[in-house]
Amino acid sequence: MNAQRCNDLRLTGSGGANRVMEAELKRLVMRSPFDVRLGKPTREGEETLLYAFDARVAWVAACHHRTSSRISWDLCSSPAVRLEPLFADLLPALSSDDRLPDGKHLRFSVEVGSSSDFEASPLQLRGVVKNALVEALASRGVASDVDGDAPDVVFVARRVGMPDARRTVVGIDVGGGARHRRGARVAGGLAPLRETLAAQLIMLSRWDARTEPLVDPMAGSATIPIEAAGLAVGAAIRHPADLPLRHLAAFRGLPNETPDLFPGTVAKIIAIDADAECIPAMVGNLRAAALTGAAYDHSIVIAQQDVRGLTPDDIERLLPAVRHMQPGVFCFNPPYGVRIGGEHGEEALLALYADMGRALGRFSGWRAACFVANPKFVYAFGHRATMTKPASNANLRGTFLVFQL
């Protein structure tokens, strides 16, 4: 048998997300209800972190981690690139694995990640992993059904490693699927930033929620303000009951509730947009994310305002507490011209970028952070970026930028 036992917690994000994902997890674990020390991760490229598996760390990541796209628990791997040898490797490895879900009956599904160098289609790869799991579970007294609509557990198969040492890794998705699906958006904008990217952008801006206000001057459906509020208090994005943890013995005895990890933080966030139609969407999304009510009346402010006319006096009028804080951070997702900027042509779009640059230039000492997919943004904006990092929003390639104003 060529299969190897694995025992890694795998955090996957967008390209270049490793440092942000690592910094966020370290911050969360330090304030978690567990007395656990987070080890140094192994990096797979620029978008994957591997930690020695600890159920407590996995619980924190699955419930609270915002910058990762997927979180899984690697169980075993095989170098096989053809179906029959892979099945021959996986069946004994999985049959003897006491970490598999237990109980009398299990509904599961199998998802396939990167598999371009495997000598069969993704559908065939999924099928052979499914068959190995059905037999392995049966050998352990667990009857199973494949259910892609409402599975108890999702298994993940992917090809990983360097070109000369590629392996098929099989693991369990412990993070509740694609993590940009927060379940709190009831209204979307024209081109919203994925929630995971919004969280990365805020982390890259180095916003200190205790001492600095955060302003999104083109808030749209309030994705960035919602992520900022969640990061500030360490709010959960998944509840343990909505995760497969209850089917896995390693997680038994861990908490069933997910209180905020930074409950004393009162962030000051302003969400503004020139479009009046965005205001109801922001309110609805904030309410769905449980970010409205008395606790947030003096923390999150929504207003209609054109960024081109924005002044420091406007900010102080909207949120008077800003007067007693340090210079803050603008975090925003400007129109790119790819999906929503073309109606007035590129000339109008570049003029908007230039007007934004002049407006934000009034805020000396502040920082600005944004995700842009138009390469001409920097030149039109008129400020020199202190940080650039390639990224992609769904299939749209772009760049994270940070400016010192």
Distance, in Å, from the CA atom of 384 to the CA atom of 30, rounded to the nearest integer, reads: 35
Q: What is the pLDDT of residues 335-378, one digit of tens each?
A: 876 544 455 578 888 999 999 999 999 999 999 999 998 889 99
Q: Judging by DSSP bridges, how do beta strands 214-216 and 153-160 pair with one another?
A: unpaired
Could you tell me the pLDDT band of residue 189, with boundaries at 50, 70 and 90?
Answer: low
Structure pTM? 0.92
**pLDDT above 90 (res 168):** yes
pLDDT score at 166: 87
Q: 195-404 — its CATH code? A: 3.40.50.150
- Which of residues 293 and 357 earns the better pLDDT score? 357
Whole-angstrom distance, CA of residue 239 vs CA of residue 256 = 8
Flag whether pLDDT at 187 surpasses 60.
Answer: no
Confidence at residue 299, expressed as pLDDT on a 0 to 100 scale:
82
* pLDDT greater than 60 at residue 188: no
Sheet with 143-146, side-by-side order of all strands: 42-44, 48-52, 4-12, 70-78, 167-173, 153-160, 105-112, 143-146
Share of residues in the chain with pLDDT > 90 (%)? 68
The CA–CA distances, whole Å, from 214 to 65, 187, 289, 359 equal: 20, 22, 18, 16
pLDDT of 91 > 80? The answer is: yes
190 pLDDT above the threshold of 80: no
| pLDDT tops 50 at residue 165 | yes
Instruction: Average the pLDDT over 50-61 and give the result.
Output: 97
pLDDT category of residue 317 using cuts at 50, 70 and 90 = very high
Residue-level pLDDT at 339? 46
b/e sequence 99-123, b meaning 16+ C-beta within 10 Å: bbbeeeebebbbbbbebeebeeeee
Average pLDDT over residues 144-158: 91
Judge whether residue 127 has pLDDT over 70: yes
Instruction: Enter the DSSP assignment of 245.
Output: G
What is the tens place of the pLDDT at every residue in 136-148?
A: 999 999 999 988 7
> Rounded to an integer, what distance in angstroms lies between the CA atom of residue 309 and that of residue 359?
6
pLDDT at 20 over 50: yes
Residue-range domain boundaries for the chain: 4-173, 195-404
The pLDDT, as a whole number, for residue 366 is: 97
Work out the average pLDDT over 295-310.
Answer: 85
Instruction: Considering the domain delimited by 4-173, tell me its CATH architecture.
Output: 2-Layer Sandwich (3.30)
Q: Are 229 and 96 in contact (CB under 8 A)?
A: no
Output the pLDDT for position 335. 87
